[in-house]
Amino acid sequence: MSGFLPYGRQSIDDSDIAAVVEALHSDYLTTGPMVERFERELAATVGANEAVVVSNGTAALHLAVLTQNLGPEDAVIVPSITFAASANCVAYCGAQVVFADVDPLTGLITDEGFDAAVRLIDSLGHRFAGVIPVHYAGRPVDLGHISAVCRARVAFLIEDACHALGTQGGQGPVGSCAASDMAVFSFHPVKTLTTGEGGAITTNDADLARQLRLLRSHGIERDPARFDGLGYGDSDDAGPWVYEMQALGFNYRLPDLNCALGVAQLKRLPWFIERRKALVTAYENLLKTNLSVSWPSADSGTDPVFHLMAVAIDFAAAGKSRAQVMAELKSRGIGTQVHYIPVHRQPYWQTRQLAARDLPGADAFYRSTLSLPLYPDMTDADPARVVEALKEVLS
């Protein structure tokens, strides 16, 4: 048997290693010139005016929501099929979460699920403050209706694009913020591009970008032109050593070392995209011919770069539980994972979400989903190996 295939992993080559070694030989290991370069090149890649890099995707979500000045009477809509951080970031900021139902086939928030959540918020007397649509697995949400409602209601729209770097959606490149206030990315090792750990927020609003940079670094301002004054009334107010803490911020900075890796990985992004698309196409062709396995095709007018090969399996028809299927695939050298347990089912959120209710689409998606191996360093023959193992296990 060939080597074990995990569901996802990083792709690191000599150019990445050389970039990090060069950064190690430089004068900067924490905040230095590679931070600004990575931000500039990332913004250009996705078509946004600004990119602000931070320590991880959760920090990016937290800071993006924090800029919206939320309170306990504000409610934010989050789809239930996502990682917990998409909802947790709202709780960090003291607001309420209403979970929206999703398409049981794709896991994406629907216009109907969004509208139902807005109506629920209105009925409870809370303010609809915003929504965080998730481009689950790299498949883009159509933001047309959601964006129009947000504009009309003066509510924010923050795209959780942690799975979707390189994806083209109905409103253009994900991250260009053509229909949103901000988009958030993750650079965890299994994502399309990695910085080891890391994240970013993109936006077209220069004031938002400045606020995000302030909040990621203790709320400290170092530009004398923006000082409020320390109150000494003399040169000690604005000496060359002076900095001002102007907000309650965090230490969410991404070091130069990580950004050096990010710059190197951006150069490889076209290849990452090409490989992921080729592997998904191979899977699609193989899955057409057999099995109780389904994979929805991409919507017309979109061009997703898939982070996850999250297929739907009729486990009841196969006569096996998901746990059995995963164990038997593992014994054949195939790693799988489940993305995700619906967040509205998590014990913490069962009692803390605003107006808990059944979300049948999210539950149906969870019951059938299984993530198969998908990462750039897979060989052209690996999808066939995975599908052959699936045939054996499900037959």
User: Helix, strand or coil for residue 95?
Assistant: coil
Strands 220-221 and 199-203, sheet pairing: unpaired
All residues at 6 or more sequence positions from 199 whose CB lies less than 8 Å from its CB, including other chains: 53, 54, 55, 56, 57, 58, 59, 60, 61, 162, 184, 185, 186, 187, 254
- Could you tell me if 87 and 78 are in contact, meaning their C-beta atoms sit under 8 angstroms apart? yes
- Ramachandran angles phi, psi of 322, nearest 5°: -60, -40
- Ramachandran angles phi, psi of 184, nearest 5°: -115, 135
Active site residue 191: yes
All residues at 6 or more sequence positions from 332 whose CB lies less than 8 Å from its CB, including other chains: 1, 389, 392, 393
- Could you tell me if 253 and 31 are in contact, meaning their C-beta atoms sit under 8 angstroms apart? yes
Q: Which residue is listed with tokens 């216009």?
A: 111
Q: Which residue is listed with tokens 């569901």?
A: 7
Strands 156-160 and 182-186, sheet pairing: parallel
Among 191, 267, 320, 330, which one carries the catalytic annotation? Answer: 191
| Residues carrying an active site annotation | 191
